[in-house]
């Protein structure tokens, strides 16, 4: 069983009197910086000159500096920039500001695990990774709850890195929900696998392909959208609350029988092989190399695929249907 920690296992005093710089004010940055600040810690946001989020962070009550200034000033530097830019920004703007005994903090181990950032030996390197999209990290904290998280220590120069990581996780609100101990390698490989195969990639392909099949078979796109996309959240909520068991209990016997017998034919042995192939490419570094090169080339594949996705009939009809549902939360679309 993974080792777990809660509020009582973590001492915020480990971070009191220390200056924390949170680099980036995107999905995770805005959430974790505000949570740490509201937990009574000294937080400065590091951004590039001209960032459209500079004003936002100030309006949220936070100090803002350039990344280089914030790195120089801070004792603890949390890097919440997109993974593909972290290495370049680290070497040009962050590393020159680091001193022995400082700490650098990640919410995903990609750059450390795949050697894109090789930290100097005299600093702590730890991870606090909320298992949640950033906007929910903030929303649940404000509601008095928290999202579960992971902590890991890669380098312990001060002998206090684990205590620092737990304090940091407490400041972000994760120890309210429970924090699991892991390693940079385990977090990186499982996180990439999850988002590629299941959470983001797998689900997106399942939705798109099943939508296409219904539309190609002559059904109205509205019907296809409701069946393959809209209702998915309601089903996933049940799984989230009570596992597959609660979902099977709640749906009709017809859905249960059909789902149990047909599901394994759709996600089948071929899919299992594809999952193993994805995992291999994560473990052997091929995916990392591809993604790093994509970043260095200014994201040509991502740009093209995002455009193709936006033009997909599922997205076109979905946008129209959602515009008739003003109660849907639009906050998550703002990133």
Ligand X SMILES: CC(=O)[C@](C)(O)C(=O)O
Q: Tell the smallest beta-carbon distance from residue 262 to Mg ion (Å).
A: 29
In the chain, what is the straight-line distance between the N-terminal and C-terminal CA atoms, in Å?
35
Tokens found for residue 153:
């220590």
DSSP string, 271-310: HHHHHHHHHHHHHTSHHHHHHHHHHHTT-HHHHHHHHHHH
Annotated binding residue 28: yes
Does residue 80 bind ligand NDP (CB under 6 A)?
A: yes
Q: Which is nearer to ligand NDP, 47 or 247 (CB)?
A: 47
Does residue 191 bind ligand X (CB under 6 A)?
A: yes
Tokens found for residue 3:
């080792």
SS3 23: strand
Tokens found for residue 201:
């990639």
Does residue 108 bind ligand NDP (CB under 6 A)?
A: yes
Does residue 202 bind ligand NDP (CB under 6 A)?
A: no
Within 8 A by CB and 6+ apart from 196, the residues are 202, 278, 282, 287
Q: Which is nearer to ligand X, 46 or 202 (CB)?
A: 202
200: partner contacted, choices Mg ion, ligand X, ligand NDP, none (Cβ within 5-8 A by kind): ligand X
Name the active-site residue from 30, 37, 108, 135. Answer: 108
Q: Which is nearer to Mg ion, 200 or 297 (CB)?
A: 200
Using an 8 Å Cβ cutoff, are 148 and 131 in contact?
yes
Neighbours of 234 (CB within 10 A): 10
Among the listed ranges 48-56, 154-162, 253-261, 298-306, the one in contact with ligand NDP (CB under 6 A) is 48-56
Contact residues for Mg ion (CB under 5 A)? 191, 195
Does residue 201 bind ligand X (CB under 6 A)?
A: no
SS3 42: strand
Instruction: Look up 168 and say whether it is catalytic.
Output: no
Q: How far apart are CA 271 and CA 253, in angstroms?
A: 26
Among the listed ranges 42-50, 153-161, 166-174, 192-200, the one in contact with ligand X (CB under 6 A) is 192-200
Starting at the edge strand found earlier in the chain, the sheet holding 149-155 runs 4-5, 179-181, 149-155, 124-130, 103-106, 76-79, 19-23, 42-47, 63-66
Does residue 236 bind ligand X (CB under 6 A)?
A: no
Annotated binding residue 87: no
Nearest-10 crossing angle of helices 27-38, 134-142: 20
DSSP string, 99-117: -TT-EEEESS-HHHHTTS-
155: partner contacted, choices Mg ion, ligand X, ligand NDP, none (Cβ within 5-8 A by kind): none
Using an 8 Å Cβ cutoff, are 186 and 146 in contact?
no
Q: Tell the smallest beta-carbon distance from residue 80 to ligand X (Å).
A: 11
Q: How far apart are CA 61 and CA 76, in angstroms?
A: 19
Does residue 84 bind ligand X (CB under 6 A)?
A: no
Q: Which is nearer to ligand X, 122 or 195 (CB)?
A: 195
Does residue 133 bind ligand X (CB under 6 A)?
A: yes
Annotated binding residue 252: yes
Using an 8 Å Cβ cutoff, are 15 and 76 in contact?
yes
Neighbours of 51 (CB within 10 A): 17
Q: Tell the smallest beta-carbon distance from residue 88 to ligand NDP (Å).
A: 7
Among the listed ranges 10-18, 82-90, 173-181, 214-222, the one in contact with ligand NDP (CB under 6 A) is 82-90
267: partner contacted, choices ligand X, ligand NDP, Mg ion, none (Cβ within 5-8 A by kind): none
Q: Which of 14, 22, 33, 47 binds ligand NDP (CB under 6 A)?
A: 47
165: partner contacted, choices ligand NDP, Mg ion, ligand X, none (Cβ within 5-8 A by kind): none
Binding-site residues for NADP(+) sit at 25-28, 48, 51, 134
Binding site for ligand X (CB under 6 A): 133, 191, 195, 199-200
Active-site residue list: 108
Binding-site residues for substrate sit at 252
């Amino acid at each position: 069983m993974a080792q777990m920690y809660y509020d009582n296992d973590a001492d915020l005093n480990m971070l009191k009197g220390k200056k924390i710089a949170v680099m980036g004010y995107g999905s995770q940055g805005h959430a974790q910086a505000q949570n740490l600040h509201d937990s009574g810690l000294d937080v400065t946001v590091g951004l590039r000159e001209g960032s459209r989020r500079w004003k936002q962070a100030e309006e949220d009550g936070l100090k803002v500096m350039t990344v280089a200034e914030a790195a120089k000033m801070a004792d603890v530097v949390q890097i919440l920039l997109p993974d593909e830019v972290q290495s370049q920004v680290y070497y040009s703007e962050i590393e020159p500001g680091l001193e022995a005994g400082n700490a650098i903090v990640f919410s995903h181990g990609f750059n450390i695990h795949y050697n894109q950032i090789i930290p100097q030996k005299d600093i702590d390197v730890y991870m606090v990774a909320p298992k949640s999209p950033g906007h929910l990290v903030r929303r649940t904290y404000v509601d008095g709850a928290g999202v579960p998280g992971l902590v890991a220590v890669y380098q312990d120069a001060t002998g206090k890195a684990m205590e620092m990581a737990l304090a940091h996780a407490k400041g972000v609100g994760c120890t309210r929900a429970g924090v699991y101990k892991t390693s940079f390698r385990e977090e990186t490989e499982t996180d990439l696998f999850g988002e590629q195969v299941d959470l983001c990639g797998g689900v997106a392909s399942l939705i798109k392909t099943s939508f296409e099949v219904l539309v190609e078979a002559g059904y109205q796109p509205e019907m296809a959208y409701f069946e393959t996309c809209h209702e998915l959240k309601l089903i996933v909520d049940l799984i989230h609350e009570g596992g597959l068991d609660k979902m099977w209990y709640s749906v009709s016997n017809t859905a249960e029988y059909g789902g149990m017998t047909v599901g394994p034919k759709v996600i089948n042995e071929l899919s299992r092989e594809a999952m193993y192939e994805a995992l291999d490419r994560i473990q052997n570094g091929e995916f990392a190399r591809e993604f790093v090169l994509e970043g260095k080339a200014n994201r040509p594949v991502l740009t093209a695929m995002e455009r193709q996705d936006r033009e997909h009939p599922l997205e076109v009809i979905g946008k129209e249907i959602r515009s008739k549902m003003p109660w849907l939360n639009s906050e998550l679309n703002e990133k």
